[in-house]
């Protein structure tokens, strides 16, 4: 059994930054990195929009630097996963995938949100080599090129509109004969000349030697008007939403209607006293590394303040 004043569940910019701040406050945090140490950014080949890296930095490299910085200030980083946690009373008791118990005075949840994928094998094959789930993160690499966005809701339309300001052409691939997006988003897409909407279409595969060079598309699948064709693209963006990684909580925290952890006002406080949330798991709007890192710092400061109020420091 381990004990911790601060248990950080999840890594990435939010978890590691929480570890840095908690470590510098002499709280000796324990960080559980989860199934994907470093989070989604480890799948990004180049990050150009994080302050302090004028020449850009690889996702794996940046996460490694954040991890080492957290360890420098006394954080214990464990490459394991928390399987379950009891938030019904303090101190909280978590059980990891080795069967070890961790008893914690406070908990910071930074487990992120996983992008929804179509389920075709090529999405994995070309991940980081043309396949992306974040236009703001990766769109710059496709300036003056042709790309495709999959989805018909507000998220997909926002991605397509953002990319339209950078790219030569944007295909918006929609499986239904209409857009589910709000009226204002539908109008914006319709009035953007370099966005072409492909209604009643599904992507069946991607192709390219080492990077994405095109997509196989089928229109009106299963009907007498079924039509197969290819489009030439350099980038393939998923715009079908994200799933917050909260299943292990078993409904112990209040979530919003999309499944993200709800926090109180401008803080990182959750519905359970002593439990804080940081990063994409509590952020359905921005989902950016710099925002996640900032919220990780806030969570550590909130945890420190909480422990001080409880006279546990």
Catalytic residue among 64, 97, 122, 138: 138
Residue 230 annotated among the catalytic residues of the structure: no
**Quick check: 19 and 75 in contact, CB under 8 A?**
yes
157 is catalytic: no
Answer yes or no: 224 catalytic. Answer: no
Residues with Cβ within 8 Å of residue 110, at least 6 apart in sequence: 8, 9, 10, 11, 12, 14, 15, 18, 277, 278, 279, 281, 292, 296, 299
Q: Catalytic: which of 134, 157, 167, 201?
A: 134
Active-site position among 137, 157, 167, 201:
137
82, 87, 101, 169, 262 from 252: Cα distances, Å? 15, 7, 18, 45, 12
Distance CA(170)–CA(280), nearest Å, equals 26
How far CA 125 is from CA of 45, 144, 203, in Å, comes to 14, 24, 15
Which of 159, 146, 160 has its CA nearest to residue 214? Answer: 146
Closest CA to 134 of 220, 5, 39: 39
Q: Which of 45, 46, 43, 39 is nearest to 17 (CA)?
A: 39
Q: Interior CA angle at 11 toward 7 and 15, to 5°?
A: 60
Query: Which residues are annotated as catalytic?
Result: 134, 137-138
């Amino acid at each position: 059994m381990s004990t911790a004043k601060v248990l950080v569940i999840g890594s990435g910019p939010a978890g590691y930054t929480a570890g840095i701040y908690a470590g510098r406050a002499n709280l000796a945090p324990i960080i559980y990195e989860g199934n994907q140490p470093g989070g989604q950014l480890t799948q990004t080949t180049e990050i150009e929009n994080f302050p302090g890296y004028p020449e850009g930095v690889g996702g794996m490299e940046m996460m490694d630097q954040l991890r080492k910085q957290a360890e420098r200030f006394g954080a214990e980083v464990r490459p394991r996963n928390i399987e379950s946690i009891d938030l019904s009373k303090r101190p909280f008791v978590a059980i990891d995938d080795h069967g070890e118990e961790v008893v914690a005075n406070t908990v910071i949840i930074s487990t992120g949100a996983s992008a929804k994928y179509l389920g075709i094998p090529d999405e994995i094959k070309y991940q980081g080599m043309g396949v992306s789930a974040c236009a703001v993160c990766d769109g710059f690499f496709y300036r003056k090129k042709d790309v495709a966005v999959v989805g018909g809701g507000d998220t997909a339309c926002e991605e397509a509109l953002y990319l339209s300001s950078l790219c030569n052409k944007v295909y918006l691939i929609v499986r239904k004969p209409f857009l589910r997006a709000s009226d204002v988003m539908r109008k914006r897409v319709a009035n953007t000349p370099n966005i072409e909407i492909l209604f009643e279409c599904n992507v069946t595969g991607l192709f390219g030697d080492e990077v994405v060079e095109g997509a196989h598309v089928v229109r009106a699948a299963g009907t007498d008007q079924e039509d197969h064709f290819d489009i030439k693209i350099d980038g393939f963006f998923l715009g079908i939403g994200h799933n917050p990684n909260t299943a292990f909580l078993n409904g112990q925290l209040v979530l919003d209607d999309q499944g993200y952890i709800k926090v109180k006002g401008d803080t990182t406080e959750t519905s359970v006293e002593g439990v804080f949330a940081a990063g994409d798991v509590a952020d359905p709007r921005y989902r950016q590394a710099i925002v996640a890192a900032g919220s990780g710092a806030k969570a550590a400061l909130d945890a420190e303040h909480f422990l001080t109020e409880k006279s546990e420091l």
